[in-house]
Structure 1
Amino acid sequence: MSFFDQIESGVAARTPPAEEQPDFVVVDVETACARVSSICQIGIVGFRDGREILAYETLVDPRDEFSPFNVGIHGITAGHVEGGPTFSDIHATVAGHITGRLTVAHSGFDKGALAAACRIGDLAMIETTWLDSVRVAKRAWPELSSHRLNVLSRFLGIEHRHHDALSDARAAGMVIVKAIEHTGIDLQGWLAKPAKFQVSAPKPAAQGPLKGERIAILGEARDGVLAQFIAQAGGRIATTVGPRTTMLVISAKQPFGRWVTADALHRKAEALRDAGRPIAILTEQALRDRLGAMV
């Protein structure tokens, strides 16, 4: 029996004892088409003291079309939701899980989808306090060039089935748990609006073998060890890959493994190179070897 077959006829749910309520809940939805209101799957996970205590998941009949693009992403079809609950049917259950709580979502998409589904169904808006786990991840691990949930899951060692609502909710919740462990910032600290800050790249030396080069770094902060090394050799650290970038250096610390070519910075550099721009793409070790040979 397939995963979808197991939950077609109803919901998969695990609720905590009344005396053990979550510190925060996480919600994730999948949609059937470009209309954000077309929720076809929802997953909610609750965490207390860093552990999962609540899980709720169901397929949803969005009463809307299923576009091939969206189906290609999550694999849910009209046949999977036929005879299942509509959003109106589950509205009270969803509201019961997240109303008045701290609710995490990975980006603002899920918040917008719930609001749109409530409007379309002429249902009461669900009132909750939202926390964006993308924003949390960017503050906790600024050295990463991507904070997509699948990238974070690989980096943090989180088991994850991408574009499954329950698995996505569970993974986003673990991002919050690990960010708290990594930084020492608690939930209230993450809710507080952070002071604006700018990571300053080291100034390039006046002379050196990399003088005149504008170098972007993939997988490490702009003020990290690799940036210091490049600046000492006269290279200027670029904020991102652009037309004036002459080199993309892949840090030895980059977390993407063999998926590094799928990273946004790498794709930009390849596109510029394919367009005839003189941009080099090399590893940190290759750069260090090249400079060592020049000394």
Structure 2
Amino acid sequence: MPIQPAAGIDPDFVVIDVETACSRVSSICQVGIVGFAGGVEIFEYETLVDPLDEFSSFNTHIHGITCDHVAGAPTFAEIHAALDGHLSRRVTVAHSSFDKGALGAACQLHGRTPIETRWLDSVRVAKRAWPDLPSHRLNVLAKFLGVRHKHHDALSDARAAGMVIVRAIEHTGIELAGWLTPANSRGVTAPKPAAAGPLKGERFAVLGAPRNGALAQHLAAAGARIMGSVGSTTTKLVISNDQPFGRYITAQADYRRAEELRRSGAMIEIVPEDEIRARLALRRSGMQNA
């Protein structure tokens, strides 16, 4: 029997996985949803779906679902309300962007309103939590985490992706809200460095805070150039006071890259925010007294 939503308990997040009948992402033929609260599964929903489309041999070989299996199953239009009830206005996890795209395409094809939810990619979470794994495919992660898993079964895939989130929270100490915040600020415009200042000529990367946030602006106002990540020309990696990684800060990619550069002889320094602010205040004071 499917696990029904527990009365009075709202999930911290829900996880969805879909299988498709052919190369058209709108051809959803199976849906699995699992809800989690406090690291525990609290409900599940699974159904076969008549995609009103052809089944390709390639897709059937992957998941084993054929047109015979979905005979008499509801269409996407008929389950849209149930999906919306489970996902709408919640955090929805999916392993990669495929499921998000498939839902959007199916809604458009069947004339249903898009489902409004906040998406979280468990692939991105896994890459941040376990950067040294050779692969972050769901079957590899399930084996690594010791999670029972039947690959390309929608309900099993959804459950496994949910456990990736649960174990990542346990492993890193970063709560769900922290995973919803990007680990870095690539694509965000950094503040321009001041034409003059005590940090002129230096290149800073900031770990644990936005590239255009208050700390970055403070450094740029002193002449520092703010980089998107640690590179061979970076002179300092500043650890924000607000970094969300806790004691696992040393496992972050920029931190590890900075350590590698130091070991190779590069002149890069890893500095806490409080220390760099104190140094900057002293340098400014010295310049004013000169």
With the shorter chain as reference, the TM-score category is 0.5 to 0.7
Instruction: Name 1:192's counterpart in structure 2.
Output: 181
Correspondence 1:48-127 to 2 at 5 A? 48-127=37-116
Instruction: Name 1:137's counterpart in structure 2.
Output: 126
SS state at 2:2 partner: strand
Runs of 4+ in 1 over 3 A off after TM superposition: 196-201, 221-224
Distance change in 2, residues 1:19/1:167 (3 Å): same
Q: Distance in 2 between matches of 1:21 and 1:66?
A: 36
Contact 1:200 1:223 in 2 (8 A): no
1:13 Cα deviation after fit = 3.1
Instruction: Indicate yes or no: 2:132 matched with 1:154.
Output: no
Bigger Cα Rg: 2
- Residue-by-residue CA offset, 1:52-94 (whole Å, 9 max, x unaligned): 0010000000000000000000000000001110001100001
Query: TM-score normalised to the size of structure 2?
Result: 0.65
* Equivalent residue letter for 2:33: I
1:222 Cα deviation after fit = 11
Structure 1, unpaired ranges of 5+: 1-11, 202-220, 233-295
Q: Distance in 2 between matches of 1:143 and 1:223?
A: 14
1:14 Cα deviation after fit = 2.0
Instruction: Name 2:5's counterpart in structure 1.
Output: 16
Contact 2:88 2:115 in 1 (8 A): yes
Contact 1:60 1:87 in 2 (8 A): yes
Of the three residues 23, 36, 41, the one matched with 1:47 is 36
Instruction: Name 2:243's counterpart in structure 1.
Output: none
Correspondence 1:256-295 to 2 at 5 A? none
Contact 2:6 2:43 in 1 (8 A): no
Q: Distance in 2 between matches of 1:25 and 1:122?
A: 24
Q: Distance in 1 between matches of 2:164 and 2:179?
A: 12
Q: Distance in 1 between matches of 2:48 and 2:36?
A: 22
Q: Distance in 1 between matches of 2:255 and 2:87?
A: 39
Distance change in 2, residues 1:200/1:180 (3 Å): farther
**Aligned CA-pair RMSD:** 2.2
Matched length? 199
1:195 Cα deviation after fit = 2.0
Contact 2:92 2:117 in 1 (8 A): yes
Q: Distance in 1 between matches of 2:15 and 2:64?
A: 22
Q: Distance in 1 between matches of 2:255 and 2:10?
A: 41
Instruction: Name 1:167's counterpart in structure 2.
Output: 156
1:21 Cα deviation after fit = 1.4
Q: Distance in 1 between matches of 2:63 and 2:47?
A: 14
